Amino acid sequence: MLGETDVTRCPTHAESRRVGTLPLHQQVRETTEAIVGAITGSLALPSSLLLGRYDDDGRLQYTGRTTTLAQAASSAVAALLAPARRGHPWTGWSFSAGWGSRETLDVTLVEPELVVEVGIDVARDASGRWRHPARLHRARPDLSPADVARLTPPR
């Protein structure tokens, strides 16, 4: 046992070094926009959203997936989705059910027109994908995919 630690007294790494305790893990979250490129579940009631951003070459790249949607959010998003037309940028792709999992998701491609605002953990992999599921905040029908920041790998 490492001893008792009052976590409320050691909220930061710098604080933990001063008082001689181990650092605490803190997730840093931010909100950002992304483009819905596919869903799990049905078009009438999506379970989760597969999100992307365009790269500098104009290709829609997968960036992450949302957590399971609440029923009200699912219904609201469903009203804004359109089935994918021919030539969807993710045609033929498969998506992993989780980080390091070999299981693939059963997804339905949608027209990449809907922008959503999501809360994300800032941790990303080498290609710029989010390491943790995003949390849907709201649909942003007032924005177009061109308004969404480009995908940039971390430095």
Quote the tokens at residue 137. Answer: 């905040």
The three-state DSSP-derived secondary structure of 52-70 is: EEECCCCCEEEEEEECCCC
Chain Cα centroid distance, residue 98: 12
Q: What domains lie within the chain, and their CATH numbers? A: 27-147 (2.40.50.140)
Q: How far apart are the first and last CA of the chain?
A: 38
DSSP state of 92: T
Contact between 119 and 29 under an 8 Å Cβ cutoff? The reply is yes
Q: What is the pTM of this model?
A: 0.78
Quote the pLDDT of residue 21: 55
pLDDT in tens, 104-138: 889 999 999 999 999 987 766 667 677 778 899 99
Write phi, then psi, for 76 (nearest 5 degrees).
Answer: -65, -45
pLDDT in tens, 78-87: 999 999 999 9
Please determine, for residue 10, whether its predicted confidence score (pLDDT) is greater than 50: no
Quote the tokens at residue 150. Answer: 């480009």
